[in-house]
Amino acid sequence: MTLEDVKTAYDTQDVPMDKLTAVIDQAVVKTAPKRKRLNWWQTSLIGVGAVAAAFTLVLNTSYSFASAAERMPVVRDAVKVLLFREYKHVDKTSYADIKVPLLTNLGSTELADKLNASYASEGRALYDAFMNKTAETPKSLTQTYQEKVNNDQLLVLERRQEMSMADTATKLSYTTIDKQRGLVLTLPMLFKSNDYQTILRDYVNKQIAASDKYDTPVEAISKAQTFYINSRGQLVLVFQRGDIAAMYVGPVEMTIPTDLIDSQLVSHEYVK
């Protein structure tokens, strides 16, 4: 399979709007590891896909991305990540500050619209869940974002959510975008076959066994594993808080040696 084959398969996907998050937002965790105590996060995000289509309609009418972009500073050819909206709440017992990113000048307007709608839906769903207070609602919730990588080929957008109850939990999400081809990279796109899953699992478990910092081997590396490609063209796997280490350690990143996966790669277009 060549990269053009990958793009063709990507372009011909018929993805309903209500399933958009599962397809393009590879960093949203779909299942919780046994030791993770992020139930509020998981339940609050269940409605993200369901509200995406309706929210997109609103965005395209009274509160459109186009109108928001008109209020932004003039940005020329470079792809930029700007602040689309910020949800804030402060009272005597709770605090929320949720920043929603807006991708501009991406080249593919269709992809930018889908991603922006997904981010907006997620931000709104987080805010609504926070305001609908229950016993599991955190005392504080923040979401920030940053351009992890933004070069001629790739844009990697990191979204960081932090919630505080008895302690503070962090969840990281990444969207890795090929700006030239107008597609969001997923882990399976990078490899010729599924053999990479075993190779990555064995490498990760070897690192876990060799370090006192980690204590829980992984059973498998799923196709939805959180990852990004760094500025040096290296594949980085991201494990959420509690996945492979004690909760106090927080999220863990593992950079994969390219020579380990070289024979499995479709090409060296992305991973160098």
Query: Is 60 exceeded by the pLDDT of residue 114?
Result: yes
> Which H helix or E strand runs over 122?
helix 109-131
Residue 189's closest CA among 154, 223, 150?
223
The pLDDT of residue 39 is 54
The pLDDT of residue 222 is 96
β pairing state of 80-90 and 95-104: antiparallel
β pairing state of 183-184 and 227-229: unpaired
Confidence of residue 14 (pLDDT cuts 50, 70, 90): very low
Query: Is 50 exceeded by the pLDDT of residue 164?
Result: yes
Cut 0.85: pTM above it: no
The pLDDT of residue 134 is 80
The tens digit of pLDDT for each residue in 17-58 reads: 444 445 444 433 333 344 444 455 555 554 444 444 444 444
Contact (Cβ atoms closer than 8 angstroms) between residue 154 and residue 229: yes
Mean pLDDT across the chain: 81
Confidence of residue 191 (pLDDT cuts 50, 70, 90): very high
What's the whole-number mean pLDDT along residues 82-88?
95
The pLDDT of residue 138 is 87
